[in-house]
């Protein structure tokens, strides 16, 4: 059975995110390790970390993915912001080690303050700095964004010495890849394979898109309700090279029950791909 999960809340403590995932029938999950809106992080106690590890084993949920804070900007032209971002990424990885998380996912996009050509080496250097001397088991994954090619993300992830990449379907669609058609999937396969290795796609963020293909508009939608559509999602899920990669939804939470409905839609699509 393919691993399938969703991003869950850490309200009430990190272990609660696992319980929420289990209530939804998820076998994988993603969360923030702290409040993503601020630089400050509350201390993670040994008791909370131990309870998370115990519950993860008991529930059999894997992978457990931490999404790095959106404040992290490793290509900032402001040295202070860049240094704070490196420190925060190091802390995200350390928290992952403490709770037994499998991966930390980081957005790769060339961010405000630098043009693409100058940002790339700055990004790679910053990632290498964050990874230097690490002894833990939590791997860092670089996520494709709406403004950078998937092949370029794979090259950055490889050169920086990360564990692999996280492929987001909405972001790929916004960058011009038709993830719901054979030709678009073949292009993804070609670009990732040429840059690194298809097996380095460790996690997939499965999201529909509210924007048109190639729009650069990063707006997630409910599965089958956006521009990729239900048949496009079915085509993507049937794509053999990614057939064993765990799926994690980052779909909107507009109404109570949205997570459950989106997960059930994916389960039905998966049942039809067997």
Domain boundaries, the chain: 4-273
Q: What pLDDT shows up at residue 76?
A: 86
pLDDT at 118: 75
Give the tens place of pLDDT for each residue, 118-172: 788 999 999 999 999 999 999 999 999 998 899 999 999 999 999 999 999 999 9
Residue ranges of alpha helices (H) inside the chain are: 14-23, 46-59, 79-99, 116-131, 150-160, 169-174, 182-195, 229-237, 258-273
More confidently predicted of 75 and 208:
208
pLDDT for 112 equals 45
Q: What is the mean pLDDT of residues 92-115?
A: 84
Average pLDDT over residues 207-211: 98
Interval 1-45: pLDDT, tens:
899 999 999 999 999 999 999 999 999 999 999 999 899 999 999
Fold designation for 4-273: TIM Barrel (3.20.20)
Return the closest-CA partner of residue 106 out of 80, 135, 83, 126: 126
What gap in Å lies between CA 77 and CA 184, rounded to an integer?
A: 34
Mean pLDDT of 173-177: 97
> From CA 126, how far away is CA 152, in angstroms rounded?
17
């Amino acid at each position: 059975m393919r691993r399938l999960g969703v991003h869950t809340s850490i309200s009430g403590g990190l272990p609660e995110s696992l319980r929420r995932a289990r209530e939804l029938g998820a076998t994988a999950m993603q969360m923030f390790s702290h409040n993503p809106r601020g630089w400050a992080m509350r201390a993670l106690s040994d008791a909370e970390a131990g309870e998370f590890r115990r519950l993860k084993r008991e529930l059999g949920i894997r992978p457990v993915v931490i999404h790095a804070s959106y404040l992290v900007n490793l290509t900032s032209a402001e040295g202070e912001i860049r240094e704070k971002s490196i420190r925060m990424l190091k802390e995200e990885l350390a928290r992952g080690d403490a709770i037994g998380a499998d991966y930390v996912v980081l957005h790769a996009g060339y961010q405000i303050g630098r043009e693409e050509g100058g940002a790339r080496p700055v990004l790679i250097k910053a990632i290498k700095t964050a990874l230097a001397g690490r002894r833990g088991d939590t791997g860092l994954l670089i996520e494709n964004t709406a403004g950078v090619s998937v092949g370029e993300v794979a090259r950055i992830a490889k050169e920086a010495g990360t564990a692999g990449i996280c492929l987001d379907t909405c972001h790929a669609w916004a960058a011009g890849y038709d993830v719901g058609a054979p030709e678009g999937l073949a292009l993804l396969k070609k670009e990732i394979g040429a840059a690194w290795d298809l097996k380095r796609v460790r996690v997939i963020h499965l999201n529909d898109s509210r924007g048109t293909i190639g729009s650069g508009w990063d707006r997630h939608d409910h599965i089958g309700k956006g521009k990729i559509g239900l048949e496009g999602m079915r085509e993507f899920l049937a794509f053999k090279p990614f057939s064993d990669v765990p799926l994690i939804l980052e779909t909107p939470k507009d109404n109570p029950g949205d997570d459950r409905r989106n997960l059930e839609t994916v389960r039905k699509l998966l049942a039809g791909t067997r």
